[in-house]
Amino acid sequence: MKNILKLIRRFVITIILSIFLLLFLNIFLFEFIFFKYSTDDSPSDKTFEIAKMIKFKDRKYFLPDKEISNLKKQNIWAIVIDNDSKKVIWQTENLPGEIPKEYSVFDIALFSHAYIKGYPVFTAKIRNDLLVLGYPKDSYWKYSTATWNYRLIQNVPNFFLIFLLSNIFFVFLIYIFSNSKLLKSVNPIIKGIQDLPKDNPVNIDEKGVLSELAKSINKTSEILQNQREQLRNKDTARANWIAGVSHDIRTPLSMIMGYGSQLKTSSNLSEEMAKKLSVILKQSERIKNLINDLNLASKLEYNMQPFEKKKENAVAVVRQVIVDFLNMDIDEKFPIEWNTKSEFVSCFVNVDKNLIKRALANLIQNSINHNENGCTIYVSVKEDEKNCIICVEDNGIGVSDKELEKLNNTPHYMVCDKNTTEQQHGLGLLIVKQIMDVHNGQVEMKHSEYGGFKVNLYVPKNLFSY
């Protein structure tokens, strides 16, 4: 209903603007035509001017030759009627022959506001006589019997306003009536378009003036529903495939790692065989971690990973992850430094502790995997008004600007070194992003001030902890 009212309001505004524009256009055209056909020198004014120019001498009237010439050019003739005899006592040379030379009082009363033999005439007093100026036929229209009620003239502005409002209302009714079917068809169309991105099936009645549009929207909805169903089926198949492959790989991988561990303790192995066995065990461990990462990434993507948020101290959680890594007896080439201020002992967040620990472990392991020559790993915790900020960075080889752009903008960025035995992948960072998503947090990847790679995790604080 709100959409219909909005559409009607737009129609009303459009039609009112159209009416006013049409009104202004008509006024402009009227003024243009009026000024085009009007003259600065009106016939009445010219008659009074000629009356002033005519001289009376020796009981005769005289008009300067220049003015007589101007009257001839305009086909204007003039006569002077004697007040006593009612006869013409002066005339111009171009006086038409059909013009009488003698008049009665009745004749003068008639033509003073009208015509003489079809010639529009205008009069003025000259001494005690009457000057008559005659213009060509069909040059002026004179309405000699105009009588108007004074109250009518007085209320013309009110009548004009009533007329204007009545016309606007009448045109509006015609407009609404002619578009009523269109308005009835628009609301389902608008609702259908709004439902398309909401994954709701759309079925609009294919009738009315917008039937073709309704048909197209229904067809689009059907295509979208089919595509979404296909995507759901593909996603389900992919998740099942990952779970199945992971399950099938675990058993032989466990046997490989088990037998490999037994062989490693054997004293009969040569130094070369021991190195090869060490590589086998290391790569088997990588395969195992990759399988675990695939399973976790798949579960997070499809909201299948059970997690329970609790109030946790982020500082304590991060410290525990560092302790776990130190207890793993990692290579001395990868020292871990705690860069958090000693007085900063707590920052409470509402998180799944295990997932946050997994994200931090992935980031630390990422620094180890990408810096085979060793690096120092710096871990810190700080806060701003809304977030607890966990930072993991190193002084290793870092990443190029191009790689950094891909890491920030590509959902699953794969990296592979030239050394095929030391393949590296971006699945760990993908899992970090997914863990931050489920916690409504953010991941920021950038160059470290120490020259290597830096990742900031922005975890929303528990605002009710204090």
User: Is residue 244 assigned to a domain?
Assistant: no
Are both 335 and 434 inside the same structural domain? yes
Left, alpha or beta for 271 (phi > 0: left; psi -120 to 50: alpha)? alpha
pLDDT mean over 35-60: 81
β 88-91/55-57 pair status: unpaired
Looking at residue 10, its amino acid is R
User: Is residue 66 assigned to a domain?
Assistant: yes
Which has more pLDDT, 320 or 11?
320
Are both 9 and 22 inside the same structural domain? yes
Which pair of structure tokens corresponds to residue 360? 């931090």
pLDDT reading at 413 higher than 50: no
User: Is residue 365 assigned to a domain?
Assistant: yes
pLDDT band at 301 (very low <50, low <70, confident <90, very high): low
Q: What is the CATH number of the domain that holds 344?
A: 3.30.565.10
CB distance 398 to 447 below 8 Å: yes
pLDDT reading at 435 higher than 90: no
Are both 51 and 17 inside the same structural domain? no
**CB burial class (10 A; 0-12, 13-18, 19+) of residue 88?**
middle
pLDDT at 457: 94
Which pair of structure tokens corresponds to residue 107? 């004749």
pLDDT reading at 95 higher than 90: yes
pLDDT band at 144 (very low <50, low <70, confident <90, very high): low
Are both 338 and 412 inside the same structural domain? yes
CB distance 380 to 435 below 8 Å: no
Are both 169 and 31 inside the same structural domain? yes
pLDDT reading at 240 higher than 60: yes
> What is the DSSP-derived secondary structure letter of residue 196?
G
User: Is residue 363 assigned to a domain?
Assistant: yes
Are both 127 and 8 inside the same structural domain? no
Which has more pLDDT, 208 or 104?
104
Q: Which ranges in 58-197 belong to alpha helices (H)?
A: 65-73, 105-111, 150-154, 156-195
Which has more pLDDT, 252 or 117?
117
User: Is residue 25 assigned to a domain?
Assistant: yes
Which of 143, 169, 187 terminates a domain? The answer is: 187
Phi, psi (rounded to 5 degrees) for 144: -90, -10
Residue 6: give the domain boundaries: 2-38+151-187
pLDDT mean over 363-376: 89
pLDDT mean over 181-190: 72
First to last CA, the chain: 47
Phi, psi (rounded to 5 degrees) for 386: -115, -20
Split into its structural domains, the chain has a count of 3
pLDDT band at 417 (very low <50, low <70, confident <90, very high): very low
Average pLDDT of the chain?
80
User: Is residue 115 assigned to a domain?
Assistant: yes
In whole angstroms, what is the distance from residue 2 CA to residue 214 CA? 20
Are both 351 and 408 inside the same structural domain? yes
**Roughly what angle, to the nearest 10 degrees, separates helices 211-264 and 271-301?**
150
Q: Give the E-state strand segments of 257-358 in sequence order.
A: 310-313, 336-338, 348-351
CB distance 88 to 101 below 8 Å: yes
For the ranges 104-118, 179-193, 207-221, 398-412, the maximum mean pLDDT occurs at: 104-118
Are both 127 and 158 inside the same structural domain? no
Which has more pLDDT, 18 or 335?
335
311 three-class SS: strand
Which has more pLDDT, 441 or 273?
441
Which pair of structure tokens corresponds to residue 110? 């008639």
pLDDT reading at 246 higher than 70: no
Q: What angle do CA 324, 326, 331 make, to 5 degrees?
A: 130
* Tokens 């204090």, residue located: 466
> What percent of the chain is modeled with pLDDT above 70?
80
Cross-strand partners of 313: 348
Which has more pLDDT, 426 or 153?
153
Q: CB neighbours (10 Å) of residue 48?
A: 16
**Distances in Å between the alpha carbon of 234 and those of 220, 237, 242?**
21, 5, 12
**Which residues, 6+ apart, have CB-to-CB distance to 221 below 8 Å?**
192, 195, 196, 201, 202, 203
User: Is residue 263 assigned to a domain?
Assistant: no
Are both 20 and 107 inside the same structural domain? no
**CB burial class (10 A; 0-12, 13-18, 19+) of residue 382?**
middle
Render pLDDT for 198-207 as a digit per residue (tens, 0 to 9). Answer: 777 888 877 7
Are both 114 and 175 inside the same structural domain? no
Are both 314 and 424 inside the same structural domain? yes
pLDDT at 241: 64
User: Is residue 253 assigned to a domain?
Assistant: no
Are both 408 and 369 inside the same structural domain? yes
pLDDT at 331: 76
**Which residues, 6+ apart, have CB-to-CB distance to 357 below 8 Å?**
317, 320, 321, 324
